[in-house]
Structure 1
Amino acid sequence: MEPRNPDDLEALREASDILGIDALLSDHERATRDRVRAFVDDEIRPHIAGWFDRAHFPVELARGFGELGVLGMTLKGYGCPGRSNVEYGLAALELEAGDSGLRTFVSVQGSLAMGSIHRWGSEEQKQEWLPRMATGEVIGAFGLTEPTAGSDPSSMTTSARRDGDDWILTGAKRWIGLATIAQLVVVWARTDDGVRGFIVPTDAPGFEASVLEPKGSMRASIQTELHFDDVRLPASALLPGASGLRGPFSALNEARYGIVWGALGAGRDSYEVALRHALRRQQFGVPLASFQLTQQKLVNMVVELQKGALLALQIGRAKDAGTLTPPQVSLGKLNNVREAIAIAREARTILGGDGVLLENSPIRHAANLESVRTYEGTDEVHTLILGQHLTGIGAFR
């Protein structure tokens, strides 16, 4: 058998799909995947190492994502694409094969901000914001996590009190994506009626957003800290349909779903870079891929990528059928992110010293996935969600 050609990426991908998972997709799903893949190849791959190195988020990509149809991708009406959850998952996979930070932009905009307005907003709010957010003209953020309340949002201290017909918002949020470039933030706050959501314009007096830096992860994206110093909001800022933590949790579940797929993209890209390097690189007079230890590493990567893809597809089909449960999403997020990090780290070892150069993606993916592992529920939180499901005992306190 002849060594595989490292320049024939399609043949390498076909060989890596040992279980024939590609055949489980419809022609329409494959077309969506290929369209997003081409966008990533043309618009992200040539630039991402420099963006990451300079800690630069290319805000001009927002309009490109809108034209691509990945902002609010599963939402229907109001100018939103209205595509299936499996299509969105495939898009998330391809976007994160480019970079976790850029896939996160799509998630914050579409799943968290747009999703909250679409599900809980008034008709006027939907008409005002969603069409322009779907095109990338307007950028939105999502404010839930606080400096002292990450995994425990029930401990949030940000509050909103009534003052006549208005609301007065006070408090702080931390690790909020996009807020310094956004026109609005969906903010969750305590009120006398429980936790409620508000659409907060970023030019409102008393609103302040600052970038959290320097970072060793997610450098091609923006994370911020927010402060609300008696921000006055009209009654129309309230999301009328959301009351209690069910509102933000429903949005988080949407974002977690995207991560189930997205992490596979980072893992797959790391594997492909390592495989092509191993086929090209000569060591002791033969390709690095000739050695048993190298083959073992590559095989272990593909085993986990194939298992993770079946898991993501099963979860996506369940979501499209309306049967998806939170423990299923937790299982997917916990497994696929954990395995993707292991793949990225192992891929780096195959690259040797060159693996620390940003021209090779595994080191960047490994760094980014440390953030992905933390946000939208840490490994520990998802473990406890699954533990509670299995035992009927909540071990959070």
Structure 2
Amino acid sequence: MPRVIFDADHEQFRDAVRRFYQAEITPRVPRWREQGHVDRDAFRALGEQGYLMMWAGEEYGGAGLDDLRYEQIVCEENVRHGDPGFYSNLHSMIVAPYLAKLGTEEQRRRWLPPAVRGEKILAIAMTEPAAGSDLAGIKARAEERDDHWLLDGSKTYISNGMQADLIVVAARTVPDSRHGIGLFVVEAGMPGFSRGRRLHKLGLDAQDTAELFFDGVRVPKANVLGDPRLGFKYLAQFLATERLMTSVGSIAHAQVAFDLTLDFVKQRKAFGKPIGAFQNTRFKMAELRTALDAAQTLVDQGVLLANRQALSAAAASQIKLLATETENLVIDGCLQLHGGAGFMEEYRISRMYRDARVSRIFAGSNEIMKEIIGRGLGLDERTM
């Protein structure tokens, strides 16, 4: 089904992004997956092209493109011609908005320009060993002092964790309140801040994922984002965009898998004819095509809603639920159609199968998405 949300300017932009990724990023991917992280200069390369934080104002070095479709295009081309473990999307659309929307003008001028240029890599640290989707269960704590906050605790499964220069850390500031949380910007090199081991994962081999430790880190008050007691509210507010961008990447990933498989079934022969000529293959590909188009349409609608500042938490949860479930459904079906080849690491579909599994877990597990959607329908024990 043709997509109707892009105009000529968007398509021209996509052509430029695609050429850049094919020339500068694609050749690096095998080494990234082998070494377990993306090279820092890849962020700088995107920054030089103006492909990071395109929404940022010109005064901060950005293009001032207040249209999420441009970020969507970069994400889609990264999935197709780069690697889903290259989390420039996390940098640009998930972490940077905290700095821009909650930060003071002094903070924006200090942090946004180097982030736009890709000189400082961004991360956000919410998840802990005993607190995942339940953000109110955070144990890391920050205590106020005269001119700083004293931060203690640990975080885990932090994307971009080993290389990040600026990390937005969620920590409890009001001990007797589940929602009394603050957001603190920890900078690389601060005394008491350390990085643990790089975590080895089922998939996303190129993604740098780490444990982080905070042992009496003195965070200047100039590094506090917004009200240090309203962090839970801020996290809930920004999670809608995070879930939407996760969905953009997920459905793009599924589309690439479908395209690879369509080529494969046209070429691979069994019993003297292409396997695409068998009814089972035609029916399966028809099912996957229909599921893909339905999910893509919902994702695109979410992007348009976000452009109008009208994306609700429930709508974002619906989009994330459908997009990630569809991603896994499509890639599983595509691997099956590859037969034994699909189980071989040398085939991209095998790596995609591993990479896709986490999407139903991060940005809030799909079980939590169902809970949010259900509460939005008034199905809550507190109201029934």
The yes-or-no answer on 1:284 pairing with 2:271 is yes
- Secondary structure of the 1:34 match is helix
Q: Distance in 2 between matches of 1:197 and 1:56?
A: 26
Does the CA contact (< 8 Å) of 1:95 and 1:265 recur in 2?
A: no
In the other structure, the counterpart of 2:330 is: 343
The yes-or-no answer on 1:41 pairing with 2:22 is yes
Listed as ranges, the matches of 1:216-365 within 5 Å are 216-241=202-227, 243-365=230-352
Q: Structure 1's 57 and 211: CA in aligned 2 closer, same or farther, altered over 3 A?
A: farther
Deviation readout 1:253-291 (Å, 9 max, x if unpaired): 222111121111110111111111111112211112111
1:381 equivalent among 368, 372, 376: 368
In the other structure, the counterpart of 1:177 is: 159
Does the CA contact (< 8 Å) of 1:111 and 1:251 recur in 2?
A: no
Q: Distance in 1 between matches of 2:36 and 2:346?
A: 15
The yes-or-no answer on 1:152 pairing with 2:140 is no
Shift of 1:72: 2.0
In the other structure, the counterpart of 1:86 is: 69
In the other structure, the counterpart of 1:393 is: 380
Q: Distance in 2 between matches of 1:246 and 1:71?
A: 26
Q: Structure 1's 112 and 151: CA in aligned 2 closer, same or farther, altered over 3 A?
A: same
Deviation readout 1:38-94 (Å, 9 max, x if unpaired): 333333434434432443423321112223433223333422233311222232222
Shift of 1:251: 2.9
Deviates more, 1:373-382 or 1:205-214: 205-214
Q: Structure 1's 383 and 295: CA in aligned 2 closer, same or farther, altered over 3 A?
A: same
Aligned pairs, how many? 374
Higher relative contact order, chain-length normalized (CA < 8 Å, sep 6+): 1
Shift of 1:100: 1.9
Percent of aligned positions with the same letter in both sequences? Answer: 27
TM-score, reference length from structure 2: 0.92
Q: Structure 1's 69 and 126: CA in aligned 2 closer, same or farther, altered over 3 A?
A: same
Does the CA contact (< 8 Å) of 2:240 and 2:312 recur in 1?
A: no
Question: What is the RMSD computed on CA atoms of the aligned residues?
Answer: 1.9
Q: Distance in 2 between matches of 1:394 and 1:145?
A: 27
Q: Structure 1's 46 and 349: CA in aligned 2 closer, same or farther, altered over 3 A?
A: farther
Deviation readout 1:96-127 (Å, 9 max, x if unpaired): 2343211xx12321123211110111111110
- Secondary structure of the 2:56 match is coil
The yes-or-no answer on 1:70 pairing with 2:54 is no
Deviates more, 1:43-52 or 1:207-216: 43-52
The yes-or-no answer on 1:101 pairing with 2:85 is yes
TM-score, reference length from structure 1: 0.89
Shift of 1:221: 0.6
Q: Distance in 1 between matches of 2:207 and 2:125?
A: 16
1:119 equivalent among 101, 107, 113: 101
Does the CA contact (< 8 Å) of 1:122 and 1:241 recur in 2?
A: no
Shift of 1:375: 0.7
Deviates more, 1:210-219 or 1:227-236: 210-219
Does the CA contact (< 8 Å) of 1:121 and 1:241 recur in 2?
A: no
Deviates more, 1:189-198 or 1:381-390: 189-198
Does the CA contact (< 8 Å) of 1:49 and 1:358 recur in 2?
A: no
1:30 equivalent among 5, 8, 11: 11
Shift of 1:192: 3.5
- Which ranges in structure 2 are unaligned for 5 or more consecutive residues? none
The yes-or-no answer on 1:372 pairing with 2:359 is yes
Q: Distance in 1 between matches of 2:34 and 2:172?
A: 39
Shift of 1:177: 1.1
Q: Distance in 1 between matches of 2:7 and 2:252?
A: 19
Q: Distance in 2 between matches of 1:282 and 1:49?
A: 29
Does the CA contact (< 8 Å) of 1:75 and 1:115 recur in 2?
A: no
- Secondary structure of the 2:189 match is coil
Q: In structure 2, what residue type is equivalent to 1:358?
A: E
Q: Structure 1's 387 and 115: CA in aligned 2 closer, same or farther, altered over 3 A?
A: same
Shift of 1:132: 0.7
